[in-house]
Structure 1
Amino acid sequence: MGQQIALGGDLERRDLVSEAVFRPVRTGNAFEETVERLLHAIKLGLVAHGDSLPPERELATRLGVSRVTLREAIRALQQAGYVESRRGRYGGTFVTYQPAEPGQGDLRRIAADLGEDIDDALRYRQVLEPGACALTAARALTGEQRHYLQARLDDVARADSAGYRLMDSRFHLAIAEMAGSPSLYVSIESTRLRLNDLLNAIPLLQPNIEHSERQHRAILTAILTGDAEAAYREMEQHVTGTASLLRGFLG
């Protein structure tokens, strides 16, 4: 049974639903932007395969759209194969989307679609994420927030090959969320979306996974000890290594 996510409450209850992703729609294109918000949450793994979206009333309020608009957006995603609606006591809207297994995507085709956008996204990420990491380390995190970050790292360590990239995304986005800057979070989320299909097309290499796990632990240690300089340095090394690996596969 998928997990029913509730908005509000403690961080553990909302760990799959980022407030930044489900921020209010602000343009005149309410339907299109609502679809975009929902797809971001699904593709970034913030609401994973088998989990449910928040209840309709709460989600419409969070997005600042009518329930009619929300239903139309959900219907469009259902027709596209991203979600399904279930009735009954344990009903709701459940995510059916699953990304391709790592290494199974068409790396060359995806790279061709992105074109020069790849290098721009990689460079932008190398600026954004170390800065967000340093900001998070410099903040006086609550015990709840510290536990939240540790839980996201534990998710990465437990993930199987099919779920590794999504859990990795959630860890990085959790750090960005704790930085306390919604604008920064949105920029990091957007950059991650630009790169996720490419990253998922790369095979999971065990030495790289082990190295990434060591770097993840070092990043979290720096954050939890309040060492902003170390947090910046560790994240910079981590995202630089990922960029090098991606460029290597692209030749």
Structure 2
Amino acid sequence: MTRETGAAGAGEDRLTAVLRPVRAGNGFEEALEQILQVVRLGLVAAGERLPAERELARRLGISRVTLREVLKVLREQGLVEARRGRYGGTFVRPRADAADEGELRRRVAGADVDDVLRFRGVLEVGAAGLCAQQGLTGRQAARLREALERTHDAPPADYRRRDTLLHLTLAESCGSPTLTAQYAAVRATVNDLLDCIPLLVRNLEHSQRQHAALVAAVLAGDAHGAREAMREHCAGTAALLRGFLT
């Protein structure tokens, strides 16, 4: 699969966590919010193409005229770019790097870090326990294992995106679209916060051990163990963010 078609096929499954029909009256605003979440969560990686306009409009329940207005805003903000030709389309641009740390910090200046981290913890700990308690289907278990495996060999520059996909896969496995949507929203904010702090190798190694313990507990049906593994994992991330940002 080429990078140009990376959002197709299996990637389409990732987008179901965020893209859903918008409500009448706020079609433009809600569609913009959802596509922003797709970009901020890394569900379509930098350099990859968003689904075709026809497909995006269908998923969001909006006209292609409205969708084009949304994409125009994203282009003006430097988040996506349009390419012409046989392999053209709308492609996600690389996100701000360390040189733009000041801009990143300004973007999250209004965020209540403690509130975001508390809400994230409640959602994630609850989701982990629920998945273990109710059990996963064979397909869900396979997707969770695959998401975990993809974090193992992730290059540092792509680690946080793959980490996001692992957590989002777990949230989806609960079977609650409302929980998944709420998690996607709070995770987008968490990712903005994480972009403001350095990527620490020691922390990544620690996170990987926690991920492995979490997935093992979920697959074993150990609800208590899954909740405790997730609680510990979220606490570690929270400690780093509070240390650097507050």
Q: Does 1:180 align with 2:178?
A: no
Q: Does 1:75 align with 2:72?
A: yes
On the 8 A contact 1:78/1:84 being kept in 2, the answer is: yes
**Residue aligning to 2:12:** 14
Q: Does 1:105 align with 2:105?
A: no
Gaps of 5+ in 2: none
**Residue aligning to 1:5:** 7
Q: Which has the higher helix share?
A: 2
Distance in 1 separating the partners of 2:6 and 2:199:
30
On the 8 A contact 1:110/1:197 being kept in 2, the answer is: no
Distance in 2 separating the partners of 1:151 and 1:52:
22
SS at match of 1:114: coil
On the 8 A contact 1:108/1:250 being kept in 2, the answer is: no
Structure 2 length normalisation: TM-score?
Answer: 0.90
On the 8 A contact 2:113/2:242 being kept in 1, the answer is: no
Q: 1:112 to 1:49 in 2, by over 3 A?
A: closer
Distance in 1 separating the partners of 2:107 and 2:73:
27
**Match for residue 54 of structure 2 among 44, 52, 57:** 57
Q: 1:139 to 1:88 in 2, by over 3 A?
A: farther
On the 8 A contact 2:82/2:90 being kept in 1, the answer is: yes
**Residue aligning to 1:219:** 214
Distance in 2 separating the partners of 1:88 and 1:177:
35
1:190-242, Cα deviation, whole Å (9 max, x unpaired): 21122222212211222211110000001111111222221111001100111
Q: Does 1:126 align with 2:121?
A: yes
**Residue aligning to 1:28:** 25
AA matched with 1:29? N
Q: 1:53 to 1:128 in 2, by over 3 A?
A: same
On the 8 A contact 2:104/2:192 being kept in 1, the answer is: no
Structure 1 length normalisation: TM-score?
Answer: 0.88
SS at match of 1:85: strand
On the 8 A contact 1:133/1:232 being kept in 2, the answer is: yes
On the 8 A contact 1:4/1:54 being kept in 2, the answer is: no
**Residue aligning to 2:36:** 39
How far the C-alpha of 1:112 sits from its partner, in A, is 7.0
Identity of paired residues, percent? Answer: 49
How far the C-alpha of 1:68 sits from its partner, in A, is 1.0
Distance in 2 separating the partners of 1:65 and 1:112:
30
On the 8 A contact 2:108/2:193 being kept in 1, the answer is: no
**Residue aligning to 1:195:** 190
Pairwise CA RMSD of aligned residues?
Answer: 2.3
Gaps of 5+ in 1: none
Distance in 2 separating the partners of 1:144 and 1:162:
29
On the 8 A contact 1:107/1:201 being kept in 2, the answer is: no
How far the C-alpha of 1:153 sits from its partner, in A, is 1.5
AA matched with 1:81? G
- How many residue pairs get aligned? The number is 244
Distance in 2 separating the partners of 1:158 and 1:104:
27
Q: 1:44 to 1:138 in 2, by over 3 A?
A: same
Distance in 2 separating the partners of 1:107 and 1:93:
24
Distance in 2 separating the partners of 1:111 and 1:71:
25
Distance in 2 separating the partners of 1:244 and 1:175:
22
Q: 1:50 to 1:111 in 2, by over 3 A?
A: closer
